[in-house]
Amino acid sequence: MSQTETAIRNCREEFPRVVDAVDRFAAEHRLSQGVVGDMQVALDEILTNIVDYGYTDHADHEIRIRLRVIDNVLEAAIEDDGFPFNPLESHAPDVSAQLSERRAGGLGIHFVKNLMTEIIYDRVGNRNLLVLRKNLTT
Amino acid sequence: MDLNEEQAGGVTVLQVMGRIDSTTAPVLGERLTAMVGAAGARVVVDFSQLDYISSAGFRILLLAAKRADQTTSKLVLCGVSGKVRQLFDLGGFLDLFTIAHTREEGIAAAG
């Protein structure tokens, strides 16, 4: 199977299902532990952002995660109907502040930008479509 | 994520194995905050068996380090290598925490 899709509700309790889906997909495609770790971290950050900041209506929403390997690239496409959020436009956190002034905000997106080879964002209708790509050779 | 706690000459060593992400970070946070919450506690966290840590984990570590400052406890990290070290570096955390190379050096630094 070259592609797999997982749909979760917008709550953190659902995240382990995505972690498991990535693990299964990685095993099927014999992906390296480094590549899988980077994608797991990136997905944890993106899904956390969607669940924490994407909605204010307290209703259930579906988030879809599609994984595939194409042209020696591991790709995760995340689709949600939350508020428009383009991670590429978020500002880098101050990673040089001392402990007392240090905040963890913004760190997750900073990780995603640095761990992934390529990030593509699109707003299609009322949906965010984010594509994360990781080269399998790096 | 699995946690294993050991005592070594007045120093508590917490080994964290597997993955720290938004699902597992709260469990680590609860344990770690309790450990450094006692006045003058000496704690080493061993990451040598850790696969990766997401920002949710770093948020927990920041809180634990600040709590340790308040209680004059010592919090030392060790076994920060490979992928985990790369994430510490990306977040600018290598200079923020006391990081020892090995568990033995960590125990010496905390004791």
Residues of A in contact with B52 (CB under 8 A): 37-38, 40-41
Contact B19 A40 (CB under 8 A): yes
Six token digits for residue A63 = 């988030």
- Output the pLDDT for position A103: 76
Mean confidence (pLDDT) of chain B: 96
User: What confidence score (pLDDT) does residue B72 get?
Assistant: 97
What pLDDT, on the 0 to 100 scale, is given for residue A106?
86
Question: Which chain A residue lies closest to B20 (C-alpha atoms)?
Answer: A41
Tens digits of per-residue pLDDT, B31-57? 999 999 999 999 999 999 999 999 999
pTM for this entry: 0.95
- Give the mean pLDDT of A53-78: 96
Model pLDDT, residue B94: 95
Q: Which residues of B touch A (CB under 8 A)?
A: 19, 21-23, 51-56, 58-59, 62, 65-66, 69, 83, 87, 90-93, 96
Q: Spell out the domains of chain B, with CATH numbers in brackets.
A: 2-110 (3.30.750.24)
Residue A62 has pLDDT above 80, yes or no: yes
User: How far is B16 from B2, CA to CA, in rounded Å?
Assistant: 6
Residue A138 clears pLDDT 90, i.e. is over it: no
Residues ≥6 apart with Cβ < 8 Å to B13? B5, B6, B7, B43, B44, B45, B46, B103, B106, B107
Question: What architecture does CATH give domain A3-135?
Answer: 2-Layer Sandwich (3.30)
How do residues A85-104 score in pLDDT, each as one tens digit?
999 998 888 888 888 888 77
A107 touches chain B (CB under 8 A): yes
What is the residue extent of each domain of chain A? 3-135
Give the Cα separation of B44 and A121 in Å (integer). 41
Q: What is the pLDDT of residues A6-31, one digit of tens each?
A: 999 999 999 999 999 999 999 999 99
3-state secondary structure of A31: coil
Asked if pLDDT for residue A1 goes beyond 70, the answer is no
